[in-house]
Amino acid sequence: MTDRPLLHGYFRSSASYRVRIALNLKGIAYDDVFHHLRLREHKTAEYLALNPQGLVPGLEVQGGVLTQSLAICDYLDELVPEPPLLPADLLERAQVRAFALAIACEIHPLQNLATLDRLRGLGATDEQVTRWAGDVIGEGLGACARLIEDRRGPFCFGDCVTLADLCLVPQLANARRFGVPLDQPRLTEIEANCMGLPAFQRARPENQPDAE
């Protein structure tokens, strides 16, 4: 590979979206390798050799392949420390991570393509599957709003973008795809502030070369 990282992703993947934002914020130029999830291009033998989980994103860097979006973001944060994705305060770092994990580990896995396909395989109708995803997202975002209800500033944890914002914005995009009412004004206000930044704008799914 070249000196530039290779990002294996898909325009609609919210986990890939997180990593695109991180790369943009850090000013790291990268090249894309696209895998159409509905065509199961992430399950080819070639890609499974890189990432045995068969998930996107994967990030090829000098020396190896990184998987799992939050682990990739941690790597990028240590590789290029400015701007930091985590606050300096120890307690706040844990709180930012908790917010990010609430989305990445609690909401996202229950509404991703693999889970929804399993529900269909068990006999759920498309209407039931959509309702499942919507309920998961709605309940999860409600909890996220309560986690930061006492916070002030343009972003989730104050005046600076953190890992929490990198997870929130893609999840709100997913919410709209599933027709989930966004009745948490604090979350949509944060999203609007993030979208005022070029790093978030460039990372939007509709701005990717593989967008449909």
Q: Domain containing 52 — which CATH number?
A: 3.40.30.10
Do 98 and 79 reside in the same domain of the chain? no
Q: How far is CA 60 from the centre of its chain?
A: 18
Here the contacts of 192-196 (C-beta below 8 Å, separation 24 or greater) are 193/154, 193/155, 194/155, 194/161, 194/165, 194/168, 194/169, 195/169
Q: Six-digit token pair at 82?
A: 């400015």
**Domains in the chain, number:** 2
Instruction: State the Cα–Cα distance between residues 31 and 76, nearest whole angstrom.
Output: 15
| Residue 78 belongs to a domain | yes
**Prediction pTM value:** 0.96
Burial class for 28, CB neighbours closer than 10 Å (0-12, 13-18, 19+): middle
Q: pLDDT by residue for the chain (212 residues), tens digit each?
A: 458 999 999 999 999 999 999 999 999 999 999 999 999 999 999 999 999 999 999 999 999 999 999 999 999 999 999 999 999 999 999 999 999 999 999 999 999 999 999 999 999 999 999 999 999 999 999 999 999 999 999 999 999 999 999 999 999 999 999 999 999 999 999 999 999 999 999 999 999 999 99
